[in-house]
Amino acid sequence: MRLIGWLVVALFVGLSAWFAWTAFTQGAIWASDVHNTRLAAANALRGDILDRDGHVLATTDSDGTRRYLESDAARRALSQTVGDTRGMSGTGVESFYSASLLDISGSLLDRMSELFSGVRHVGSSVRLTIDGPLQAYVAGQFPSGYSGAACVTNWRTGEILAMVSLPNYDPYDVMEGREERVPDTAYLNRCLQGLYTPGSIFKIVTLASALSNDPAVVDQPFTCAGVWDYEGGHINCAGNTAHGTVDLETAFKRSCNVTFGKLAYQLGAQRLRETAERLGFNENFKFGDFVVYNSAFPGRISGTSGLVWAGIGQGEVLVTPLHMTLITGAVANGGVMMKPWLVKGVTTALGAPSATGVSTPYRQVLDEAVAGTIAAYMRETVKSGTAKRAAIKGLSVCGKTGSAEVSDDKSVETNAWFTGFIDDPAHPYAISVVIEGGGAGARLPSELAARALKKAVEYVG
Give a yes or no: residue 210 inside a domain. yes
pTM, rounded to two decimals: 0.89
Boundaries of domain holding 231:
199-341+359-459
Give a yes or no: residue 250 inside a domain. yes
pLDDT along the chain (461 residues), means of 10: 84 73 50 48 80 97 94 98 92 91 65 54 94 98 97 98 98 93 96 97 98 96 96 91 97 98 96 98 91 95 93 97 98 98 94 90 98 98 97 98 88 93 98 94 92 97 84
Give the closest residue to 121 by CA, choosing from 133, 108, 131, 130.
Answer: 108
Give the closest residue to 193 by CA, choosing from 66, 90, 264.
Answer: 90
| pLDDT at residue 14 in the model | 76
| pLDDT at residue 399 in the model | 98
Give a yes or no: residue 314 inside a domain. yes
Give a yes or no: residue 438 inside a domain. yes
| pLDDT at residue 423 in the model | 98
What CATH number does the domain containing 209 carry? 3.40.710.10
| pLDDT at residue 105 in the model | 60
Give a yes or no: residue 110 inside a domain. no
Number of domains in the chain: 1
| pLDDT at residue 230 in the model | 92
Give a yes or no: residue 81 inside a domain. no
Give a yes or no: residue 373 inside a domain. yes
| pLDDT at residue 114 in the model | 52
| pLDDT at residue 403 in the model | 95
| pLDDT at residue 148 in the model | 98
Give a yes or no: residue 3 inside a domain. no
